[in-house]
Amino acid sequence: MIRKALIRDAKEILGIINFFANRGEMLHRSTNEIYENIRDFIVYETDEEVVGVSSLHIDWEDLAEIRSLAVKEKSSNRGIGSAMVRECIREAKELGIKKVFTLTYVPPFFEKLGFKMVDKSQFPHKIWSDCVKCPKFPGCDETALIYEIET
């Protein structure tokens, strides 16, 4: 079941994200960042356990980013990640957002869901807000993809 994250989910969200961040597969997040952005997050819960997380972060009037998409290894390859991306897109559409982008090390996953590769230079605000905090900056090796929402 997908639902909006609650405050009680913050530590579990942090644990899932930082597990993958420790492997170099996504950016680390601090406890403070999770609490400050808890309204952006959704979780996937099975048997009262959070097994997946994702967030939809509004960047501008017509642009949002899917961030921190992660599914526990024991629950991977079950369609949970895809379901969470579709839920982020549904929420973006409901908010009137026209484009959703992501930066990822797994472009084929997002391409299967209708995302198209684009040049990162389309997102200069992103570079100066989050990317400068990344240890890989300015040599980012993630791929930017965008999904255009039909209205």
The CATH code that applies to domain 2-148 is 3.40.630.30
The average pLDDT across 23-39 equals 92
Query: pTM for this one?
Result: 0.88
Q: Cα(81)–Cα(107) distance, rounded to whole angstroms?
A: 13
Decide the pairing of beta strands 63-71 and 99-104.
Answer: parallel
* pLDDT tens by residue, 67-92: 999 999 999 899 999 999 999 999 99
Are 100 and 66 contacting, i.e. CB atoms less than 8 angstroms apart? Answer: yes
